[in-house]
Amino acid sequence: MNVLTIINGSAYGLDSTYNAVRLAGSMAKREGVTSTVFLMGDGVTVAIQGQKTPDGYYKLDRMLAPIVASGAEILCCGTCMDARGIVPEMLVDGARRSTMDELTDLTLAADKVLIF
């Protein structure tokens, strides 16, 4: 099964973003599931490396590492990155800049599309 998860919410302040990353991590571990995470809008902030949060608080950038290690792709909307001054060097390992055309292809190829 091919699953595309689109995350629009900011890295912090929304439980939906945190839960979307958790679900993507769980899905990436499942046998027979091809998982892709596409970050759009403020969602691109999820993939910024070196996030500083209070002790005991989750760190979304670190939560992406096992997703990538499981073979899932982490893609970031290039237009959204530009609007927020985010350059590819700021992204966690395994995340990369993408396009609306690539998102279109992924959407059409997906068996399931989850949007947060």
- What local confidence, expressed as pLDDT, does residue 58 receive? 86
pLDDT band at residue 108 using 50, 70 and 90 as cut-offs? very high
- What local confidence, expressed as pLDDT, does residue 55 receive? 81
12 phi and psi, to 5 degrees? -130, 150
Q: Is the pLDDT of residue 16 over 90?
A: yes
Q: Is the pLDDT of residue 13 over 90?
A: no
Mean pLDDT of 36-43: 98
Instruction: Work out whether the CA dihedral 55, 41, 69, 114 comes out positive or negative.
Output: positive
Please name each of the domains of the chain with its CATH number.
2-115 (3.40.1260.10)
As a whole number of angstroms, the distance between CA 80 and CA 48 comes to 13
Query: Could you give the percent of the chain with pLDDT greater than 70?
Result: 100
- Tens of pLDDT, residue by residue over 49-103, are 998 888 878 888 889 999 999 999 999 999 999 999 999 999 999 999 999 999 9
Whole-prediction pTM value?
0.94
